[in-house]
Amino acid sequence: MSRFVQDLSKAMSQDGASQFQEVIRQELELSVKKELEKILTTAPSHEFEHTKKDLDGFRKLFHRFLQEKGPSVDWGKIQRPPEDSIQPYEKIKARGLPDNVSSVLNKLVVVKLNGGLGTSMGCKGPKSLIGVRNENTFLDLTVQQIEHLNKTYDTDVPLVLMNSFNTDEDTKKILQKYNHCRVKIYTFNQSRGKKQTSLSTNLLLIFWERKRTTPEYICWYPRINKESLLPVAKNVSYSGENTEAWYPPGHGDIYASFYNSGLLDTFIGEGKEYIFVSNIDNLGATVDLYILNHLMNPPNGKPCEFVMEVTNKTRADVKGGTLTQYEGKLRLVEIAQVPKAHVDEFKSVSKFKIFNTNNLWISLAAVKRLQEQNAIDMEIIVNPKTLDGGLNVIQLETAVGAAIKSFENSLGINVPRSRFLPVKTTSDLLLVMSNLYSLNAGSLTMSEKREFPTVPLVKLGSSFTKVQDYLRRFESIPDMLELDHLTVSGDVTFGKNVSLKGTVIIIANHGDRIDIPPGAVLENKIVSGNLRILDH
């Protein structure tokens, strides 16, 4: 057979396979559409339009998922961002503040992503309700921060919580405690724009009276069977057997949910111009007046529609998303998008020096424009899960920061590490509860008594994973002002007024127990074996 005939045969074979794959995709999309239409028929009449919007959004996401092949980025097109596209925070701060700070603050809305549960730390309910400092919760500290701004500058900066159906009800119950705070608090739900008006006692009482008699259906996106790629859900309810059928579609859902809630138009009508979005468990994500001033008074007169705060990578951050230049625009690249052959290169601290803190400043007018043009483009993250019954499913997610490429004149700002202080584990919790930080008006700042600006590396073992167990093992939080590194493993407890300095490693082997006595000073020590303090 001639080389030409071989090539022609191969081309015809490839073309046939391509056509076959396209037919399969079309049939699969049709099957999913029919399943979603069945689910929609189960929605109550007062929720029908909202549910239809949710399922239409999922169908568009599913269509894109079927169209994409392989990694969503071409590694060869990734370039370092131009120098002027990521500004050092010092340069932003050097511009100073306007004479009338309240004028720029009154253009701001603070949005906290409040969809997560505290299950990874052994807690039930919203993570934002876990006590982190002096019995203050994440939510308490957030409200205190914004109230301090409003009182100091005589402004009206509102707080908006983006809840999920896992956190919505418990969060709304607790909001009543802030009735007398000088902060208007609004809520809306991921994937379902259900608006909650600002807090007032009467409104909340009316809301909760209505809540007793009217069930609230809040559907997210349906999980899909990994084999059939069809939705697991059979109706819009999320109770009983249907509990695991739905999932929050990632924080990228904020744009559509915020728009659909009506809050976007409300705030634009009130003269607000920017939202500051961050995770509620990032205690470093406070309102920064210098960044806000840079947005409200751009040095070149050209408005910036999107600012992403980035900070320098350490070895602990190698998996964090990074900003790159891609096809002429700033683009957030997550590790899930990187071809396997380049994962080690992506993790390199020397090549990719910064990562995304998920502290974002976004123009409200730009969100409205792009949402109405259906022009917000975010890469799909495929997240595999296994349900309690053993069924393998996948959920299609998007990340809020991935939208940066859709906005005009986007900018990265390389901020100090202090603006990234997430609490994901009890190891993080130990740091923020310690004397390493001082608390003022809801904001944590590194203690002036610490000689080094870096945060110690703390690794607590599995005996400390749950908050309840963690608290039981510390009679009081140790003095950590001079600590560099702490590793604790096994059955270990700490007495009152313990001081930890330098590098401290405490390892209780299986079956052993170590009680660090009250008042102990451990400096550059390794403690192992068995040490019991018995009452007498």
146, 110 Cβ separation under 8 angstroms = yes
pLDDT of residue 327 exceeding 50: yes
Q: Calculate the average pLDDT of the chain.
A: 86
Contacts 24+ apart (CB under 8 A), 517-520: 518/475, 519/495, 520/495
Secondary structure element (H or E) that encloses residue 91, with its range: helix 89-93
Lowest mean pLDDT among 11-20, 75-84, 194-203, 499-508: 194-203
Residue 145: its pLDDT value, please? 97
108, 276 Cβ separation under 8 angstroms = yes
Residues belonging to the binding site for substrate are: 251
Lowest mean pLDDT among 208-212, 239-243, 448-452: 208-212
Q: How confident is the model at residue 16 (pLDDT cuts 50, 70, 90)?
A: low
pLDDT of residue 48 exceeding 80: yes
Q: Which residues are marked as active site?
A: 424
Residue 531: its pLDDT value, please? 67
Residues belonging to the binding site for UTP are: 127, 190, 250, 281, 424
Task: Return d(Cα 60, Cα 259) in angstroms, integer.
Answer: 17
Residues belonging to the binding site are: 127, 190, 250-251, 281, 424
SS3 (DSSP) at 326: strand
Summarised one tens digit per residue, pLDDT across range 353-397 is 899 999 999 999 999 999 999 899 888 888 888 988 889 999 898
The terminus-to-terminus CA distance of the chain in angstroms comes to: 95
Name the more confident of 21 and 1.
21
Lowest mean pLDDT among 51-55, 231-235, 411-415: 51-55
Residue 275: its pLDDT value, please? 98
Task: Return d(Cα 324, Cα 451) in angstroms, integer.
Answer: 34
Task: Return d(Cα 294, Cα 292) in angstroms, integer.
Answer: 5
pLDDT of residue 525 exceeding 80: yes
Compute, in degrees rounded to 10, the torsion defined by CA atoms 271, 274, 280, 284. Answer: -120
Summarised one tens digit per residue, pLDDT across range 91-148 is 999 999 999 999 999 999 999 998 887 777 888 888 889 999 989 999 999 999 999 9
Summarised one tens digit per residue, pLDDT across range 165-218 is 778 888 888 999 999 999 999 998 876 444 444 443 333 332 323 232 223 334
Tokens 């391509």 found at: 18
Percent share of the chain, pLDDT over 90: 55
Dihedral pair phi/psi, residue 16, rounded to 5°: -65, -40
Q: How confident is the model at residue 439 (pLDDT cuts 50, 70, 90)?
A: very high
**Token output for 324:** 């790159």
Q: How far is CA 359 from the centre of its chain?
A: 9
Dihedral pair phi/psi, residue 407, rounded to 5°: -95, 155
